[in-house]
């Protein structure tokens, strides 16, 4: 299971087997069931999660009481509420398993220690945040640049296997519209 993480790390930095042993001792492997929450609104997000297998999502409840998904995390992605994690403030988000999942988990204190002890991990996380930030930039571009209908088709064309994998009401929640409207869009295409 750890091998997945090692292969992932090696895409960004060079590390020896012995160093990997040391690094991986900072993490804990956990398994979660479908719909299980790793973080709920109001709690302080104490951990950073790496998806070995499965799928998580981050969402919040808007003023109308509707769940709005802001982010999915599948294999080889990290997820946390960065504001809450970094400043130890109550979170405005939930993090929940969409599918049963296997995760690596690290607390903020442990991560600080890890970065102290293994400066090469500063470089690794610099890459990770840079990648995540770039992805967020593109998402913002699509949100503003495309109509809701075009946004759905864009997602469907670029990540068909992902759209297959996830229930429709969560796709709608991620794209920021209602399941009813998504259903209408799909009906239009098939006619």
Residues binding DNA (CB under 7 A): 64, 66, 147-149, 167-169, 176-184, 186-187
3-state secondary structure 22-55: HHHCCCEEEEECCCCEEECCCCECCEEEEEEECC
Instruction: Using CB under 8 A, pick the residue from 28, 140, 168, 183 that binds its own copies.
Output: 140
Q: Which does 92 bind (CB under 5 to 8 A by kind): its own copies, DNA, none?
A: its own copies
Q: Which does 44 bind (CB under 5 to 8 A by kind): DNA, its own copies, none?
A: none
Q: Write the burial class of residue 107 (CB in 10 Å: 0-12 exposed, 13-18 middle, 19+ buried).
A: middle
Q: Looking only at residues 94 through 133 of this chain, which bind its own copies when binding is defined by CB under 8 A?
A: 115, 119, 122-123, 125-126, 129-130, 132-133
Q: Which does 88 bind (CB under 5 to 8 A by kind): DNA, its own copies, none?
A: none
Could you say whether residue 43 binds its own copies (CB under 8 A)?
no
d(C-alpha 183, C-alpha 87), whole Å: 40
Q: In the chain, which ranges are continuous DSSP H helix?
A: 2-9, 17-24, 82-87, 108-117, 120-145, 148-158, 160-165, 168-175, 179-190
Secondary structure of residue 64 in the 3-state scheme: coil
Residue 105 CB, nearest approach to DNA (Å): 26
Q: Which does 179 bind (CB under 5 to 8 A by kind): its own copies, DNA, none?
A: DNA
d(C-alpha 15, C-alpha 100), whole Å: 30
User: Distances from the Cα of 15 to the Cαs of 4, 27, 112, in angstroms?
Assistant: 14, 16, 19
Which positions from 51 to 80 touch its own copies by CB under 8 A, shown as an x/- string? ---------x-xx----x-xx---------
Cβ closest to DNA, residue 10 vs residue 62 = 62
Instruction: Using CB under 8 A, pick the residue from 86, 112, 113, 184 that binds its own copies.
Output: 86
β-pair type (37-39, 47-53): unpaired
Residue 134 CB, nearest approach to its own copies (Å): 4
Binding interface with its own copies (CB under 8 A): 60, 62-63, 68, 70-71, 81-83, 86, 92, 115, 119, 122-123, 125-126, 129-130, 132-134, 136-141, 143-146, 176
């Amino acid at each position: 299971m750890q091998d997945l993480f090692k292969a992932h790390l090696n895409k960004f930095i060079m590390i020896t087997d012995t160093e990997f042993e040391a690094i991986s001792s900072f993490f804990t492997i956990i398994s979660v069931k479908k719909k299980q929450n790793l973080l709920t609104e109001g709690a302080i997000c104490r951990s950073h999660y790496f998806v070995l297998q499965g799928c998580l999502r981050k969402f919040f409840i808007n003023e109308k009481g509707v769940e709005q998904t802001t982010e999915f995390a599948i294999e080889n992605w990290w997820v946390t509420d960065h504001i809450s994690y970094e400043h130890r403030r109550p979170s405005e988000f939930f993090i929940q398993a969409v599918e049963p999942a296997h995760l690596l988990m690290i607390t903020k204190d442990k991560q600080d220690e890890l970065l102290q002890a293994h400066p090469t991990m500063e470089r690794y996380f610099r890459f990770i945040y840079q990648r995540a930030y770039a992805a967020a930039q593109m998402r913002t571009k699509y949100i503003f640049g495309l109509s809701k209908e075009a946004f759905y088709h864009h997602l469907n064309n670029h990540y068909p296997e992902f759209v297959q994998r996830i229930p429709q009401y969560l796709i709608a929640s991620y794209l920021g519209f209602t399941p009813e409207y998504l259903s209408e869009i799909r009906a239009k295409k098939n006619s």
